[in-house]
Amino acid sequence: MELSSVVPWGRSLSEYKEMFSLSNRDLSKKILGCGDGPASFNAELTEKNGNVISVDPIYQFSADQIQSRIDEVYSQVVEQVSKNKDDYVWKNIPHVEALGKARMQAMRLFLADYRVAKESGRYLNASLPALPFDDGEFEIALCSHYLFLYSEHVSQNQHILSMKELCRIAKEVRVYPLLSLRDNQESPHLQPVIAELEAGGISVSLVEVGYEFQKGATKMLVAKSV
Ligand SMILES: C[S@@+](CC[C@H](N)C(=O)[O-])C[C@H]1O[C@@H](n2cnc3c(N)ncnc32)[C@H](O)[C@@H]1O
């Protein structure tokens, strides 16, 4: 992975709670955050005595390298969102400036934690579809804004292998959103992935959540090994 191809953009614990309908009981479980990037989910949950490991290929880079990449792309991303304002629901986040502020705050929390915790094993450089964990090692695996969202760049086969891998290492897998970034429509990979998982004995449901920023992104996928 080239750092120049990465656009760091991270969400907070409160957004993860809403995107994945995480209860306090869920948050006390052993959780994997897959593709957490510069989100502050791990930093904030660890602060509250949570038990969470994050994996992402950007963790091969140092905090300084990620920080400079954030500084490089931040205004471009804000400008891009401004141009496509109608693709988003401006309710909890009222306007583009508030969005920029919230994302920067989350990324600052991430960077501060990452600087001190990189060696602790809470941030691992690993990538789907092969994760360095034992079968059933986690109670919950979460994947926010990677699978399905980047349907144009990540193939259907890669989606299937990735979801099977997440179901191997966690008893329950939650993925959000399920829409493609290109057109805000259901990912073309969603139904084939569900069919493959169900054929392998995994139960899958699509569950409404109380979060919507990308217009129409109101559901998460929940997969459970039975
Ligand atoms: C849009 S960011 C989402 C960050 C975070 N999950 C959030 O919601 O704030 C997508 C993340 O997916 C990561 N990613 C890219 N390829 C991946 C792979 N093969 N396996 C796991 N994560 C990957 C990227 O490095 C990036 O940090």
**Per-10-residue mean pLDDT, the chain, length 226:** 84 98 98 98 98 97 95 92 94 93 96 93 97 98 97 96 98 98 95 98 98 96 92
pLDDT at 10: 95
CA distances from 17 to 27, 170, 177, 220 (A): 9, 18, 13, 12
Q: Which domains does the chain have, with CATH numbers?
A: 3-225 (3.40.50.150)
Angle at 107 between CA 105 and CA 113, to 5 degrees: 105
Angle at 112 between CA 111 and CA 118, to 5 degrees: 75
State which ligand 1 atom lies nearest to the alpha carbon of 39.
9
The widest CA-to-CA distance across the chain, in whole angstroms, is 45
Please name the residue whose Cα sits nearest to atom 10 of ligand 1: 146
pLDDT at 2: 83
Residue 35 Cα to ligand 1 midpoint, Å, equals 3
The answer to whether the CB of 222 is under 6 A from ligand 1 is: no
pLDDT at 145: 96
Residue 37 Cα to ligand 1 midpoint, Å, equals 5
State which ligand 1 atom lies nearest to the alpha carbon of 149.
1
The answer to whether the CB of 39 is under 6 A from ligand 1 is: yes
pLDDT at 225: 86
The answer to whether the CB of 145 is under 6 A from ligand 1 is: yes
State which ligand 1 atom lies nearest to the alpha carbon of 56.
22
pLDDT at 199: 97
d(CA 92, CA 211): 9
DSSP summary character for residue 214: B
The answer to whether the CB of 103 is under 6 A from ligand 1 is: no
The answer to whether the CB of 177 is under 6 A from ligand 1 is: no
Pairing of strands 219-225, 170-176: antiparallel
Residue 55 Cα to ligand 1 midpoint, Å, equals 9
Residue 85 Cα to ligand 1 midpoint, Å, equals 23
Tokens of 27: 């948050």
pLDDT at 165: 98
